[in-house]
């Protein structure tokens, strides 16, 4: 789609961390959100960050060809949601783009949901492409697993999160990154209640179910490797809630989740 100058697009960006070295950088998914935003609104894309305007890593987004970014000044452990919500609510933003999950901090992936809830806007998860915007309604493609796409019609304004199905971010150039302005704004700070009492713990990789392949021939192994990982299970229809609960209970037992 051609840059749509009248569409007011905001991209929420965060400071990321390189997976190997942990060095601060532009976050991969947020950069994709910016890329999508640049394709939609060109130079009119509005960059928004809640955090520290001194973070040099933010310049990585400016290097994609944007002159400035608004930074809502927030300390490290603040709950940034109210600040973002009230800022966005007061603007005429029509589309708010964000990554699915932050690379540092809590990284819960909840921000798009909570933000949409607070603004009372619809949320599109896994936005891959905006095909058109007509009469206050956007036609978009939502990414589903295994390369599938679902076409949706969403009324403006809405929040959309992007993941790695969105187009890859363009290179960040040093010159514009240095020249770009980080416009810091003082806003109210709300303490994050959860963070103030909970403690952080390094994440462990989730356990994965081992796939036992009993294939004897190469062809069978090939089939097993390329087969669509079937979700299995069955669809229960027209049953009472009690029957449903029984079925779930039985399954959990069978899977040894409950003993």
Partner 1 sequence: MLDTLLPILIFCALAVMVLGAWRRLSLWRQGRPSPVPLIRGLAAMPRRYLVDLHHVVERDRYMSKTHVATAGGFVLAALLMIIVHGFGLHNRILGFALLGATVLMFVGALFVAKRRRNPPARLSTGAWNRLPKSLLMFSASFFVVTLPVAGVIPADMGGWVVALILLIGVAWGVSEMFLGMTWGGPMKHAFAGALHLAWHRRAERFGGGRSTGLKALDLDQPNAVMGVEKPTDFTWNQLLGFDACVQCGKCEAVCPAFAAGQPLNPKKLIQDMVIGLAGGDDASFAGSPYPGVPLGEHGGGPHQPIVSQEGKGLVGADTLWSCTTCRACVEECPMMIEHVDAIVDMRRHLTLEQGSTPNKGADVLDNLIATDNPGGFDPGGRLNWAADLNLPLMSEKKQADVLFWVGDGAFDMRNQRTLRAFVSVLKAAGVDFAVLGLEERDSGDVARRLGDEATFQGLAKRNIASLSKYHFNTIVTCDPHSLHVLKNEYGELGGNYDVRHHSTYLGELIANQRLNLGQHKGGSVTYHDPCYLGRYNGEYDAPRNVLKAIGIEVKEMERSGFRSRCCGGGGGAPITDIPGKQRIPDMRMDDIKETGAELVAVGCPQCTAMFEGVVEPRPYVKDIAELVADVLIEAPVPQRSATRSDAMEVH
Q: Measured between alpha carbons, how far is 5 from 194 in angstroms, rounded to an integer?
A: 40
* Closer of 149 and 170 to partner 1 (Cβ): 170
Residue of 4, 10, 15, 25 interacting with partner 1 (CB under 8 A): 25
Count, residues near partner 1 per rule CB under 8 A:
17
* Closer of 171 and 199 to partner 1 (Cβ): 171
In whole angstroms, how close is the CB of 168 to partner 1 at the nearest point?
9
Residue of 7, 13, 27, 63 interacting with partner 1 (CB under 8 A): 63
Where does this chain touch partner 1 (CB under 8 A) — which range of 63-71, 105-113, 122-130, 227-235?
A: 63-71
2 binds partner 1 (CB under 8 A): no
Q: Please give the residues from 159 up to 178 whose contact with partner 1 meets the rule CB under 8 A.
A: 170-176, 178
207 binds partner 1 (CB under 8 A): no
43 binds partner 1 (CB under 8 A): no
* Closer of 171 and 230 to partner 1 (Cβ): 171
| Among the listed residues 68, 66, 69, 37, the one whose alpha carbon sits nearest the alpha carbon of residue 173 | 66
Is residue 128 within 8 Å of residue 138, measured between CB atoms?
A: no
* Closer of 20 and 193 to partner 1 (Cβ): 20
| Among the listed residues 190, 53, 4, the one whose alpha carbon sits nearest the alpha carbon of residue 114 | 190
- Sites of contact with partner 1 (CB under 8 A): 18, 20-21, 23, 25, 63-65, 170-176, 178-179
């Amino acid at each position: 789609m051609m840059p749509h100058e009248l569409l007011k697009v905001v991209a929420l960006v965060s400071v990321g961390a390189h997976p190997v070295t942990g060095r601060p950088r532009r976050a991969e998914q947020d950069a994709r959100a910016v890329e999508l935003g640049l394709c939609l609104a060109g130079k009119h894309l509005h960059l928004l960050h809640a955090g520290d305007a001194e973070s040099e890593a933010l310049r990585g987004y400016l290097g994609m060809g944007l002159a400035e970014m608004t930074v809502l000044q927030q300390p490290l452990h603040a709950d940034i949601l109210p600040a973002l919500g009230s800022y966005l609510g007061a603007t005429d933003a029509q589309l708010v783009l964000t990554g699915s999950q932050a690379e540092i901090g809590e990284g819960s992936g909840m921000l798009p949901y909570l933000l949409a809830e607070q603004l009372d806007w619809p949320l599109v998860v896994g936005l891959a492409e905006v095909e058109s915007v007509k009469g206050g309604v956007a036609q978009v493609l939502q990414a589903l697993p295994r390369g599938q796409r679902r076409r949706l019609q969403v009324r403006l304004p809405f929040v959309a999160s992007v993941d790695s199905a969105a187009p890859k971010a363009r290179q960040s150039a040093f010159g514009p990154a240095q020249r770009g302005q980080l416009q810091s704004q003082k806003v109210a700070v709300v303490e994050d209640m959860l963070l103030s009492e909970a403690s952080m713990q390094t994440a462990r990789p989730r356990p994965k179910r081992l796939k036992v392949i009993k294939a004897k021939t190469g062809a069978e192994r090939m089939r097993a490797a390329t087969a669509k990982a079937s979700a299995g299970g069955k669809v229960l229809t027209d049953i009472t809630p009690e029957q449903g609960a029984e079925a779930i209970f039985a399954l959990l037992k069978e899977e040894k989740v409950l003993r």
